[in-house]
Every structure is written in C-alpha cells, then in structure tokens.
Chains A and B, each alone.
Chain A
C-alpha cells in the first residue's frame, strides 16, 4: 500500500480531484493485484411544469465510485454512492474479497494503454452552469405555452420539462490507465395530448444540446403538436405485408438494437446472430454502419471508453458486408484481437460491458418525401412500443407495437394505431430499400435517418 487511507469527507470534488482520488485508490493495489477505480460525479436539474405552474423542481449532485480488483485471474467489483475515504476503503476491501469468489479466467484483466491518442472533444458547456434556475423554468413554461398554442385540438400538455446534467468522471488503474472526461447535456421536452370528441392521442417533441444555445424550442413544440394531432382519427388497419418507412428517431433505436448483436463477447459466448458472418454480406449493399464516439456532434461522443482507452472510429458494416465486432479489453483478449475501445458502463454502479456510443449510417441521396413517393403504398412509423418484450437479440425475432400513417400513392394517408410490425433483425437488414439524406442528431447512441425496409408483417384487425 503506497498511502494509508484517511477517514474524512472529500467535499465537492473538481475534475482534478476525481482523478486524484482514483489515482490514490489505484495506488492501494497490493503486489500481484490489478486495481481500477472509476470515480464519477453528476449534477442534475430537472424541472417539470404543468398548467402554467412549476410542478416539481429537483436539483442535486451525486457522486460515487466503482472499484474493480483482478487477482489470480479472478475479478471482483464493488461500488458505493459516496466518496468519503472510509467508504472508499471499505469498497476496495469488498471488491478484493469478491474477487476470491469468481472463477479463474485467463483472459480477465484491466486495460493497458494501447498508444491511441484521445480525441480532443469539446462536449462541455461552461455557459450551462451559469443559467439561472428562473430562466430554465421560463423555458419550460414557454415550451408548454407553445405546444398549447400550436393547434386548437391540443387538450393539454401532460408535461413540459427542462433537464440538464453535467457529468465528470475519472478512471485510473495500476496498469497505466489514467483518463478523465466531462460532458454536459441539456434538453427541453413536451408530451402533448390532442383530443377530438372522445378520442385522445399523444405525441412528444424535444430538443437536446450541450448548452442552452443549442436548443430549438420551436421545433420541439411543433413536433409534439404534429405528432399528436396527426394521429387523431387513427384506426386499426387490416393485417398484411408491406414496406415500412421508419422516422429518424425510430431508425436510431433500430441501429442500437443491431449494434447490440455485434458485441464481441456475445459472439464468443455463442449468443450473436452474426457470429459466423464476419466478411460476409449481412445487409443491403447500401448500408454502411459506423460507431464513432470521436464525432463531436454525436450525443454519445467521449474521448475515452469506460476502461480509459481512447475511443476511435469503428466501421461495423461496410457496403452491406460485416466488417467488425465491438470489443472491450476482456472480450478482445479472449478473441485474440485488440479492444475497439467500446467498453461502456451504467455509471459507477457497474463494471464495464460492451456497447456502441455513436452509431450512424452513411446517408443516402433521397429526401423523406422522395422515399415516400418511391414506396408508393406502405406504412410510416412514428413511434414503437414493447422493444424490451418483442425483440429477441439472440433469435433475431422482431415484433413491436407501432403508430403512424399509412403511405398511400406515394404520400402520407390516414393515421393508424394498435398494430404491430414484425420480421427478424437479419431480414430487416437485407430488406433495406432506401436510406434518407436527412441525418438527425438524437439523444441516443445513434444518429437517426429516414429508413425504408421492405416486406414487414403488419398485424391489425
């Protein structure tokens, strides 16, 4: 042990102090032991307004640490929602103890620096910290008013919201990793309720950015209004097979599902649909899918992955051919390859898994209107439900609830609801018939784009 821990509160740490604490913990590694400390701090504000009044206002800071210990090929993990030194010390002891109960595994181990230089990313807004609470409240109220005023059929706004978050983290290991990063995000969102007679429909709109200057209230309000009102009169369609056009926000969700099946660990463990398909055509030739967390415009942009390796651009599918899987340190070692710096974690409470952060497809050349015209008859999907229950990433079965508009003679027709669309992930990739020229940045691990997929089953009446 290089330094004796001392009991006492750390107070509100700065980014440098997070790094210092992580270094200290990594320094407590014993001989023959690898120790990783991931220290994170978040500051969040959430304001909900309803009927012209603030319904709730919550503003808080939270911090915590996750510690991983590897000894004799065994890994243990422990976390605590506190940075008090006595708690941190206890957490390390727990992680160490936990390691004794895991199975030995020759591939287990912490990341070591691989020479890739971290991207210089500007994903932090100093301006955000200076926005007075009253201004945030005013923006949420303005959004609510704008939605209400957007159409006479808007009955109410279920909630209009401002949210912001500043997240700082540091990760240090005694294997040479030393990384810290910080990012801010803010958003406004509204859920509109439209009504006509006894009927009710809902639609949401939002705008997201690094700082308040990035937010587009007008667009958020217009989206919520259009999406709720255009569904009025929606009926359940007849069952059949047809071409489905996904709006950018739904495409983003689909891309994230696809990327989930390209996890190198799932491949090693016999859980990936695409395990034996590397180098083979798995999608329409028009599809190129890339994960690039160094793209500063992406919501998930970050200079380092969750093990402290510099992030990089990974092409997963090129011209329809499967090019690569995503790896963290463990799965890469086991597969005999290099980490793609795709370690992710759900805050300080979990160890590193694998995942995409900033997916995008190379846009096509057609506008959404041109795609509708080319499709002729089909379905435009504006929302889906039941993703957890209806998409099986191992078998590939895909079945989700959907709402949207029928496409009739190349243009938007009548609204439909209470239907499902179904296929398999494998077939949907092959059945892509058009990719739009309209990339849209979203609060998601993927950039959206209009996407048309042929031959899905639509189940209704």
Chain B
C-alpha cells in the first residue's frame, strides 16, 4: 500500500516535535452489499475507502490526524498535524528502522468476494425470500441482506513494527415479519464469518430463512414475558453476549486503568463460579471477530481471562501495555483509519462444561429458556448490564412450554458470574455481532455452551 522508505520518513516527521511513539495505520477497504425487501432487490451498494491515520504519543497525550491522501505529501501533512496535536517539545531527530512482524492468517480465504459476480450474490436473496414465505401464510414480510468486505491494513510504528493483514468478511442476514390475531412479530437469523463466498457452501440460505420465519411464527402465540427474578437457562451459541456484557467490557484494560470497572484490581481473585472459564481468542479460524494482526500491528492471540472462576488476565491494547512495560494481548482495534485504536474484544466465549444441556432444563422447575439473544449494554463502573431475548420460552416443571414475547433481562456482572450454576457440554459460537464502544463499531464473535444463571431479573409485563 505504501513504500517502506516513505513510512520510515513519515514516522520521522511525526516524531519531530519530540514524540515518544508514532504510528502509521493505512487502510484500503472495499465492500459490497445487496438488500432485498418486500420481494424486490432494492439496491446493490458498493463502497471504497482508503486512507491513513497517524498517531503520535507524547507523555500522557496522544495526537491524531488522518488523511485520505496516501501520497508521501498527504501522509507527511497528517504526521505534522498529529505531532502538533500531541504538543511535544521541539527538536530531536529519530530514525526508524522497520522490521516485518509475521502473523499467520486465522484461516484461508478460498473465494474472494470480488471474484464472484453480482448476479450470484443477488440470487441468494431471492432464494431466502422464497424459502421464508414458504414456511407459512402468516409470513407477511421478508428482508434479507448480503454483505462482504475486504479490508487491507498496514501498520508501522516507531518501535520498528511493520505488519499487514488482508481481512475478508462475508455475512448474510434475514428478517421476517409474521402477522396474527395478536399483532405482528419478528424473527431474525444471521451468519457472518471471516471468509469469502465459500461461506455459502457451509450454510444454505433456505435454512437460515426457515429459522427466522419459524421464530416469528412461534412468537405469534407468545405471551408476555414474566416480570421479576427467575432462573434463566441460555441455549448454546448466541448467549455468549452474556459474558461480553457481564464481564467482557469490564476486563478491557482502559476501563481497568481508569478504575471504572468492577473488575479492577481483582486479578487472582475468584470472580465467578468455578464452572466459568472465559477466553477471548482472535485466532479462532473463520469466526467473525478474528484477524491475523490487530489494528496496532500485533498478532491476534488466545487469552484466557477467567480460569475456573479465577480472574487471570485483562485485555490490552499496545499503548497501555507499553506504558505498563508488559506484553500486549493483540486487542487494539479501531473501526476505520479515521479512528484511534482502543482495547476491544475479538471472539469471547465460555469454555465447555460437563452438564447435559437437556438435563439443565429438566432440573429447572420454573424459569425462562432463552434460545436467541439480541444485543446488550453494560455500565462497566457499576457492572449492571442488560441483554435482550428475541426467542424465549417459559420453563415449567423442567419442560419448555409457552413462547414469550421479546424483553430485556437485567443483571449485575459479578453477581451473574457467581450465579452460574450449570454449564453444558455443547459449546457453539453464536451469530456475528457488532460491538459499539465510544462510537466505534467492530466485528466480534461470542459463544457458549448451554448454561443456567440461578437468578436474573426478567423484564416482562406479565402480572
């Protein structure tokens, strides 16, 4: 993307105002998407973005500037702006010699999106629409989205790091509206992986459509969710969002350093039920949150955050780990070259336990079974978090009975982690997620085996 000699000169320029650290992050991103709604392919969209962000650190201050001009002149201007923003003392010349950081790709990409014709991509949408409408006459509306992206990045910094990555992602989403006597209901399904078009060898869009339509139809019979504290059993897969919210964000080193995490200062302590082993792993093959290098040029890693309930490690970005004089964990990410990197999760999951998932339900006299989760949100300072259930059932006498309408659940992170009293042996990853933090969205994966939290507040309306 940019000549090495040019990068070395630009880093030199960035450091001219006395910076301790300088970095060039260049990105070239192409994406395409097609959307079907109301039986029609409404549009096909393609996008191209290219540019570089330059960061200069002086003491506690970070200066940042970005440009869409990747010429030496454009980069040098941005470097000067970033250096000036960091306001270092003037003077001093530092030379930077780059060395390439090797990083294995998490997986091979077989079929690059640009090698596939637009007509082939669009054809998936029609197939999904037809399959969803075929599930039942109550299906009234279907929308489906196909999307792919190829993001090539290059990172170089004044520590001599030079690394690059080529990140290809493909996703498919379908959303169904069904209508009945009790009004309208919705069902969704989505898949996304860090792969090319070969994703559709693994998934048939008809199956995804049937899942989404089945959810909407089931909810037409749904009754209001309970209101109050109950045991909650969460089906394998999408429930990983529970950990993303209950403790994932609280284990990000930036929140910890500012002491706005309930998990600050607790490494080595029992913070969860002994059944909980939690891992963040950016190297997980084709999962949605995987990459070869993070957006600061460091290889992705598998990091055990909680082992048998004991807090073992936080997630770090390079800037903070550098300051602490410790190794990074490969969790420095940014949405685009226009953003500063910060600590972010990759694929965060609960490791398998030993319980039989069916037995977990059977041994729950009364509770809620959550089969699909929507998003969530957490306040890391208090640990209070919510997540939404988009497919759920009542558990009565150890059996799933009636479907429930959508509602949020609320809990407190440390308490919920302690209250996990059963973990199944049926681990699965969930669908693709976008994690938002300080206005930046990045792709993340979550996963877990079936589990039970012995008490959570279910936010329904049932009297």
Assess A59 versus B338: contact at CB under 8 Å? Given A156-B259, A270-B140, A401-B410.
no
**Interfacial chain B residues near A268, Cβ < 8 Å:** 38
Cβ of A257 within 8 Å of any chain B Cβ, yes or no, is no
Interface size on B, residues (CB 8 A): 82
Instruction: Give Cα distance in the complex from A97 to B61, angstroms.
Output: 46
Are B186 and A392 in contact, CB atoms less than 8 angstroms apart? yes
Are B408 and A399 in contact, CB atoms less than 8 angstroms apart? yes
Are B65 and A351 in contact, CB atoms less than 8 angstroms apart? no
**Interfacial chain B residues near A87, Cβ < 8 Å:** 48
Are A385 and B386 in contact, CB atoms less than 8 angstroms apart? yes
> Which residues of B from 414 to 463 have beta carbons under 8 Å from A?
457-463
> Which residues of B from 41 to 68 have beta carbons under 8 Å from A?
41-51, 59-68
Are A56 and B41 in contact, CB atoms less than 8 angstroms apart? no
Among the 9-residue stretches B302-310, B351-359, B377-385, the one with 4 or more Cβ atoms under 8 Å from chain A is B377-385
> Which residues of B from 334 to 367 have beta carbons under 8 Å from A?
338, 340
Smallest CB gap from B438: residue in A: A159
**Interfacial chain A residues near B148, Cβ < 8 Å:** none
Partner of A420, one of B42, B259, B459: B459
Are B381 and A77 in contact, CB atoms less than 8 angstroms apart? no
**Residues 165-193 of chain B, each 1 if its beta carbon lies under 8 Å from chain A, else 0:** 00000000000010100011110000000
Instruction: Give Cα distance in the complex from A364 to B287, angstroms.
Output: 52
**Interfacial chain A residues near B326, Cβ < 8 Å:** none
Assess A390 versus B37: contact at CB under 8 Å? Given A98-B45, A422-B227.
no
Judged by DSSP, the binding face of B is strand
Assess A101 versus B44: contact at CB under 8 Å? Given A269-B38, A270-B140.
yes
Name the residue in A58, A236, A273, A419 with the highest tally of chain B Cβ atoms < 10 Å from its Cβ. Answer: A58
Assess A97 versus B183: contact at CB under 8 Å? Given A102-B41, A200-B381.
no
Name the residue in B40, B122, B377 with the highest tally of chain A Cβ atoms < 10 Å from its Cβ. Answer: B377
Are B258 and A158 in contact, CB atoms less than 8 angstroms apart? yes
Number of A-B contacts (CB under 8 A): 263
**Interfacial chain A residues near B376, Cβ < 8 Å:** 386, 389
Min CB distance, B166 to chain A, in Å?
Answer: 19
Are B38 and A158 in contact, CB atoms less than 8 angstroms apart? no
Partner of A62, one of B64, B66, B228, B463: B66
Cβ of B270 within 8 Å of any chain A Cβ, yes or no, is no
Instruction: Give Cα distance in the complex from A241 to B224, angstroms.
Output: 14
Are B43 and A98 in contact, CB atoms less than 8 angstroms apart? yes
Assess A459 versus B458: contact at CB under 8 Å? Given A81-B68, A399-B225.
yes
**Residues 306-337 of chain A, each 1 if its beta carbon lies under 8 Å from chain B, else 0:** 00000000000000000000000000000000
Smallest CB gap from B342: residue in A: A56
**Residues 134-158 of chain B, each 1 if its beta carbon lies under 8 Å from chain A, else 0:** 0000001100000000000000000
Are A50 and B186 in contact, CB atoms less than 8 angstroms apart? no
Instruction: Give Cα distance in the complex from A64 to B338, angstroms.
Output: 13
Are A156 and B406 in contact, CB atoms less than 8 angstroms apart? no
Are A105 and B40 in contact, CB atoms less than 8 angstroms apart? yes
**Interfacial chain B residues near A91, Cβ < 8 Å:** 48
Partner of A392, one of B44, B51, B406, B409: B406
Are B228 and A239 in contact, CB atoms less than 8 angstroms apart? yes
**Interfacial chain B residues near A78, Cβ < 8 Å:** 45-47
Instruction: Give Cα distance in the complex from A403 to B410, angstroms.
Output: 11
Instruction: Give Cα distance in the complex from A396 to B381, angstroms.
Output: 31
Cβ of B297 within 8 Å of any chain A Cβ, yes or no, is no
Given contacts A55-B61, A241-B463, 19 further A-B contacts (CB under 8 A): A101-B34, A103-B42, A105-B42, A155-B259, A270-B141, A271-B141, A386-B386, A386-B410, A390-B374, A390-B459, A397-B407, A399-B461, A400-B386, A418-B411, A419-B457, A420-B410, A422-B460, A457-B459, A457-B461
- Please list the residues of chain A having a beta carbon within 8 angstroms of any beta carbon in chain B: 9, 50-51, 53-60, 62-64, 75-82, 87, 90-91, 94-95, 97-103, 105, 133, 155-156, 158, 193, 200-202, 236, 239, 241, 268-271, 273, 349-351, 385-386, 388-390, 392, 394-397, 399-401, 403, 417-424, 457-461
A-B pairs with lowest CB-CB distance, top 6: A389-B388, A420-B459, A386-B386, A390-B408, A81-B49, A103-B40
- Please list the residues of chain B having a beta carbon within 8 angstroms of any beta carbon in chain A: 34, 37-51, 59-69, 81, 85-87, 118-119, 122, 140-141, 177, 179, 183-186, 219, 225, 227-229, 258-260, 262, 338, 340, 373-377, 379, 381-382, 384-388, 390, 405-412, 457-463
Q: Please, could you name 26 A-B residue pairs with CB atoms under 8 Å apart, sorted by A?
A: A50-B60, A54-B60, A57-B61, A63-B68, A82-B50, A82-B68, A95-B46, A98-B118, A103-B40, A202-B382, A239-B227, A270-B141, A351-B43, A386-B376, A388-B374, A388-B375, A394-B177, A394-B186, A395-B184, A399-B461, A418-B384, A422-B408, A424-B461, A459-B227, A459-B457, A459-B459
